């Protein structure tokens, strides 16, 4: 079974509808086609979705009004959902920020703008 | 912020528009655009929270933002809504600002961006007094439309 087949429900968290659209398109092209995608506009909405539905993967922005991506990542990793991989897609990523996010439990970190090829390669590499 | 910031900002703008929306841009001089032209079109601004005292402003012609947003979302320009256009312009500015800061700030130091807002940055309200345009990057698209990205802040 391909590693992509183990993921069925994906939660996309970003305050920008444009960014949510781009993220979904890139993930579909990268190998996550035919999955169930649910969208949330910030960390609080995402936590509400997590209580209603089971997710295999969370993809989140960092800079959002309400609860931001750091708050969401910390909340998820301190909860019963801690096993769900959290991918961070942000415009404020550099080595120092990546180190901070990894310590908090981020699974993968991507700079904006993202590309399907970058997602595919990073996902495959992470599973080896 | 040092002397190569103009080169970094120009590259960040061109790379972002090309990769997000397949829009090619040509560099222009500031004399190419009038203040009246810039203030009449859509504008979004984004403050830098850390290091504080800086901010970015993007000004784009209505026709170019419609074309760009349509390319990003994969729909016809006639299907675009004002909300689509505003949101896309904010996301473009957010990505440009992030690309600039990633290249400009030391990788050992984190940086924080604010949330994009409508209109230009007011130096009195959101930036320290005396802040001015530090870098001005005007571009023209293949269809003759304008795009200007400015970095505002304290002058060294």
Report domain extents, chain B: 2-154
Percent of chain A clearing pLDDT 90 (strictly above): 88
Confidence of residue B123 (pLDDT cuts 50, 70, 90): very low
Q: What residues of B are in contact with residue A16 (Cβ under 8 Å)?
A: 87, 90-91, 94
In the predicted model, what is the mean pLDDT of chain B?
86
Of the candidates A23, A107, A94, the residue with the CA atom closest to the CA atom of residue B110: A94
Of A21, A92, A100, the CB nearest to B113: A92
The alpha carbon of residue B151 and the mean position of all alpha carbons in its chain are separated, in whole angstroms, by 8
How many CB contacts within 8 angstroms connect chain A with chain B? Answer: 73
Q: Please measure the distance between the N-terminal and C-terminal CA atoms of chain A and give it in whole angstroms.
A: 14
What is the signed CA dihedral for A32, B83, B8, B5, rounded to 10 degrees? Answer: -140
Q: Whole-model pTM?
A: 0.91
B68 touches chain A (CB under 8 A): no
Q: How distant, in Å, are the alpha carbons of A1, A2, A48, A57, A75 from that of A7?
A: 11, 10, 20, 7, 21
A77 vs B67: CA distance, rounded Å = 41
Classify each residue of B50-73 as buried b or exposed e, where b means 16 or more C-beta atoms within 10 Å of its C-beta.
eeebbbbbbbbbeebbbbbbbbbb
Interface probe with A: pick from B91, B99, B116, most Cβ of A within 10 Å: B91
| Per-residue model confidence as pLDDT tens digits over B21-54 | 999 999 998 777 777 776 778 899 999 999 888 8
Contact A113 B16 (CB under 8 A): yes
Of A17, A90, A97, the CB nearest to B87: A17
A50 vs B10: CA distance, rounded Å = 41
Would you identify the CATH topology of the domain B2-154? Answer: Chemotaxis protein chec (3.40.1550)
* Cis-peptide into A113, omega within 30 deg: yes
Hey, which residues 121-150 in chain B have their CB within 8 Å of chain A? none
| Per-residue model confidence as pLDDT tens digits over A63-78 | 999 999 999 999 999 9
Low pLDDT (below 50) residues in chain A: 1
ipTM summary value? 0.89
Report domain extents, chain A: 9-126
Would you identify the CATH topology of the domain A9-126? Answer: Rossmann fold (3.40.50)
Q: Which two tokens stand for residue B140?
A: 């023209």
Q: What residues of A are in contact with residue B73 (Cβ under 8 Å)?
A: 18, 21
Which H helix or E strand runs over A53?
A: none
B10 vs B129: CA distance, rounded Å = 26
Q: What residues of B are in contact with residue A119 (Cβ under 8 Å)?
A: none
The answer to whether the CB of A57 falls within 8 A of the CB of A85 is yes
DSSP summary character for residue B109: S
């Amino acid at each position: 079974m391909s590693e992509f087949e183990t993921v069925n429900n994906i939660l996309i968290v970003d305050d920008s509808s444009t960014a949510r659209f781009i993220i979904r398109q890139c993930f579909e092209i990268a190998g996550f086609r035919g999955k169930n995608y649910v969208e949330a506009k910030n960390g609080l909405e995402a936590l509400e979705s997590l209580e209603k539905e089971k997710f295999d993967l969370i993809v989140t922005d960092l800079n959002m009004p309400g609860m931001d991506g750091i708050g969401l990542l910390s909340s998820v990793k301190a909860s019963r959902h801690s096993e769900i991989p959290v991918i961070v897609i942000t415009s404020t990523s550099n080595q120092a920020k990546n180190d901070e996010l990894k310590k908090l439990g981020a699974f993968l970190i991507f700079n904006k703008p993202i590309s399907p090829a970058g997602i595919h390669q990073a996902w495959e590499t992470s599973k080896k | 912020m040092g002397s190569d910031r103009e080169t970094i900002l120009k590259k960040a703008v061109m790379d972002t528009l090309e990769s997000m929306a397949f829009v090619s841009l040509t560099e222009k001089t500031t004399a190419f655009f009038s203040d009246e032209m810039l203030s009449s079109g859509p504008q979004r601004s984004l403050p830098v929270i850390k290091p504080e005292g800086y901010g970015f402003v993007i000004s784009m012609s209505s026709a170019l933002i419609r074309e760009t947003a349509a390319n990003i979302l994969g729909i016809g320009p006639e299907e675009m809504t004002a909300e689509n256009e505003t949101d896309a312009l904010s996301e473009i500015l957010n990505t440009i600002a992030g690309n600039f800061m990633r290249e400009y700030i030391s990788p050992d130091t984190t940086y924080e961006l604010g949330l994009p807002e409508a209109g230009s940055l007011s130096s009195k309200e959101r930036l320290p007094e005396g802040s001015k345009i530090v870098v001005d990057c005007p571009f023209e698209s293949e269809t003759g439309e304008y795009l200007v990205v400015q970095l505002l802040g304290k002058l060294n």
